[in-house]
Chain A
Amino acid sequence: MKLTKLSPKILTLLALALLVIIAPMFFPSSFYYRIGALIFINGLAVIGLVILVGYAGQISLGHAGFVGIGAYSCALAPEHLGISPVLAVFLGAFLSGLLAWLVGRPILRLRGHYLAVATLGFGILIYMVLSNEAQWTGGPDGMAVQATGLKALLKSMGFKVSASEMWYWIAAVVMMIGALIALNLHTSPTGRALRSLHDSEVAAGTVGVNVANYKLSAFVISAIYTSVSGSELALMNRFISPDVAGFLHSVELLTMTVLGGAATVFGAVIGAAILTSLPQVLTVLHDFEHIVLGLIMMLVMIFMREGLVPSLAKILRRRPK
């Protein structure tokens, strides 16, 4: 098998598909399906951040805000507008995209630390709205989310699956679609323009790239990705609280992005997989959880500066067979 002859895009998709299909064979109980589903949901959000951080070279410390918008759309729209929870996913994505477009125009003029602080403020604002408007959102204690009815539908068709299994496959398919779009974007003219921003905004501007527009589109696309992941989380948990929109969640998503390798889709999924499953593995060494997490981050930052996946790929490539 000469895998190297395949394009990186096909290779990534194949690897992800294999992972998704093979993993359940090793699951001793359906609890592992839930971990898998959480990995794919986080993975989707992180792929969105790869487009913003890895491709376009911008930073956001407020993306959990979009997770919150997506999640609360699925909680609130069915209750107050009477639309189905599945449609609410699209409503949430639209709202997030719109908000990102409105907010992105002014704040994407900023760079570096200033952009980080502006997005941080944006995320915290959304968190505050969600936790303070208790008559709508149930406040800090959160609110219940209506069932999608998907499980009942499957049951009526003769498939009896647990909720965790169902969400494993749904989250996997949605993440694969997200990965496909992100990979296509990478090699498209838009993707090349975005990556030119990453290297040098001035140079990109000089050769005719509309810097402000491309930055904005990367911001909007990543907002939609994160929003959909938030919707999935709300529908799967059937309960949501403002914590998902909190600052810590933003940092967590960004950490996953950087850990796996900010510029690659496969790295995004690996980063999400490691940071989502690690707390479960480390319950036996509970007291050392944060130390181990910190140690992993430090080692990756020192020895694999591009993130896990790109660094490992480089090492493998350097070695003759």
Chain B
Amino acid sequence: MTRFNHLKTTALAIALAGSAAIAVPAHADIKIGSSLAITGPASFLGDPEAKTLKMLVNELNANGGINGEKIDLIMYDDAADPNQARTFATRLVEDDEVVAVIGGTSTGATMAMIPVFEEAKVPFISLAGAVVIIDPVKKWVFKTPHTDLMACGKIFEDIKARGLSKVGLISGTGGFGKSMHEQCLSVAGKYGIDIVADETYGPKDADMTPQLTKIAGAAGLQAVVNPGFGQGPAIVTRNFKQLNIKVPLYQSHGVASKSFIDLAGDAAEGVRLPASALLVADMLDDSDPQKAVVVGYRDAYVAETGQPVSTFGGHAYDAFHILVNAIKSAGSNNPAAIRDAIENTKGFIGTAGEVNMSATDHLGLDLNAFKMLEIRDGDWTIVK
């Protein structure tokens, strides 16, 4: 900001008065920025993320912070609007001068923010799903949630393990369904999966019987996969049962929550889906290294907010711990040093799985990070 220092000296007093309402808090702490969709259409993702971050920051500061320095979390609500996210990203970098940023609840908001952080050379850990965020690898951009590509991989692996190969796809046309649909098509060949039917439905459709009837009629159909989000998959599951289609139904990690079971009712019986270990915290083996992490986070979150835990808050948990570990091991608040330390994250056990990052992998998760779940008697069970 040296370029207008001359202006700054003359106008500082007035400028400060003028921007009193937007003034930033006192310095000397480690400033971490965040822009999340706390309100708006993606608030069911952003809200648990925001609550998790606040909880973790308070906890860390109460325990003395990092090397004696407190964390100052600056959080904005972009309501999943890419244009607003971009503005907040600029604000975090230029005005708040943060050393790292966690956020971007939606893929759109994340992609809009990336150029800002790349240009300003500030490490950025995204909480959004799509694989485009880290593929191709961008120097300053990382992410913690599993990608839709991995979800497809996990599902296809399971289908293969059951000795099946002919799959029908029924996909939502929202951002999530569309992205996962493409990824599933792209990796189907790799797992020897044959896509024999490919149908879509709109996010507000109330009945998917026609599409399912068509899929059921496809020659040699052995399994159906439903990439989708929100209510759509629950309706698909109900219609699937009503039509009495006798092949296994797979849902995506997008509906890995209790409300899906409630919405789909009895029809959900036998449905399989890939999900993070957080969902089945108590069912994990005691020998599972993730058990302590997910149980600890869940209990803390429930105690703090009184709400059930969700995988989305878990993404924020992972991002925050990866960042804090990086700041500790970098031993400085220099964004470049923090970035290098994040890239060197090895063997970190988070809610999503074991994270091993490298210069070519800014996600660091493999397929083991997903647990394949089956719904039995209205509850999750782990498929072994």
Interface range on chain A: under 10, 10 to 19, 20 to 34, or 35 or more? 35 or more
List A contacts of B175 (CB < 8 A).
Answer: 139-141
Most buried by B among A141, A160, A239: A141
Which of A27, A31, A144 meets B91, CB within 8 Å?
A: A31
List B contacts of A38 (CB < 8 A).
Answer: 87
Cβ contacts A29-42/B at 8 Å (1 or 0 each): 11110110010000
> How far, in whole Å, are A152 and B356 apart by their CA atoms in the complex?
37
Contact A160 B3 (CB under 8 A): yes
List A contacts of B19 (CB < 8 A).
Answer: 26, 28, 32
A132 contacts partner chain B, Cβ-Cβ < 8 Å: yes
Q: How far is the CB of A125 from chain B (nearest CB, A)?
A: 14
Which of B75-83, B297-305, B371-379 contacts the other chain?
Answer: B75-83
Residues of B12-30 whose CB lies within 8 A of A: 12, 14-16, 18-19, 21-22
Cβ contacts A221-265/B at 8 Å (1 or 0 each): 000000000000100011111011000000000000000000000
Contact B8 A28 (CB under 8 A): yes
User: Knowing A243-B83, A244-B83 touch, does A141 contact B91 (C-beta < 8 A)?
Assistant: no
List B contacts of A24 (CB < 8 A).
Answer: 7
Which of A31, A237, A240 meets B95, CB within 8 Å?
A: A31
B207 contacts partner chain A, Cβ-Cβ < 8 Å: no
Contact A31 B111 (CB under 8 A): no
Contact B112 A239 (CB under 8 A): yes
Most buried by B among A28, A32, A38, A160: A28
Contact A142 B94 (CB under 8 A): no
B90 contacts partner chain A, Cβ-Cβ < 8 Å: yes
Cβ contacts B16-58/A at 8 Å (1 or 0 each): 1011011000000000000000100000000000000000000
User: Knowing A132-B173, A164-B94 touch, does A30 contact B1 (C-beta < 8 A)?
Assistant: yes
Contact B21 A284 (CB under 8 A): yes
B241 contacts partner chain A, Cβ-Cβ < 8 Å: no
Q: How far is the CB of B198 from chain A (nearest CB, A)?
A: 14
Which of A26, A161, A244 meets B14, CB within 8 Å?
A: A26
List B contacts of A25 (CB < 8 A).
Answer: 7, 10-11
Contact B82 A239 (CB under 8 A): yes
A4 contacts partner chain B, Cβ-Cβ < 8 Å: no
Complex: chain A residue closest to B181, CB-CB = A134
List A contacts of B179 (CB < 8 A).
Answer: 139, 141
Which of B3, B15, B82, B178 meets A237, CB within 8 Å?
A: B82
Contact A29 B112 (CB under 8 A): no
Contact B112 A237 (CB under 8 A): yes
> How far, in whole Å, are A233 and B84 apart by their CA atoms in the complex?
12
User: Knowing A26-B11, A284-B21 touch, does A243 contact B90 (C-beta < 8 A)?
Assistant: no
List A contacts of B90 (CB < 8 A).
Answer: 30-31, 34, 164
User: Knowing A30-B1, A233-B83, A244-B83 touch, does A141 contact B108 (C-beta < 8 A)?
Assistant: yes
> How far, in whole Å, are A26 and B179 apart by their CA atoms in the complex?
44
Contact A29 B94 (CB under 8 A): yes
> How far, in whole Å, are A118 and B90 apart by their CA atoms in the complex?
37
Contact B112 A27 (CB under 8 A): no
User: Knowing A139-B178, A243-B81 touch, does A144 contact B108 (C-beta < 8 A)?
Assistant: no
> How far, in whole Å, are A41 and B18 apart by their CA atoms in the complex?
22
List A contacts of B173 (CB < 8 A).
Answer: 132
List A contacts of B14 (CB < 8 A).
Answer: 26
Complex: chain B residue closest to A238, CB-CB = B115
Q: How far is the CB of A34 from chain B (nearest CB, A)?
A: 5
| Contacts A/B (CB < 8 Å), 6 sampled | A27-B15, A28-B95, A141-B111, A164-B90, A284-B22, A286-B38
Task: Name 16 extra pairs, CB < 8 A, besides A29-B94, A34-B91.
Answer: A26-B15, A26-B19, A28-B15, A28-B19, A31-B90, A38-B87, A141-B108, A142-B82, A160-B3, A161-B3, A164-B90, A239-B112, A239-B115, A279-B84, A280-B87, A281-B22
Q: Write the residues of chain B forming the contact surface with A, with a CB cutoff of 8 angstroms.
A: 1, 3-4, 7-8, 10-12, 14-16, 18-19, 21-22, 38, 76-77, 81-84, 86-87, 90-91, 93-95, 106-108, 111-112, 114-115, 119, 130, 132, 173-175, 178-179, 182
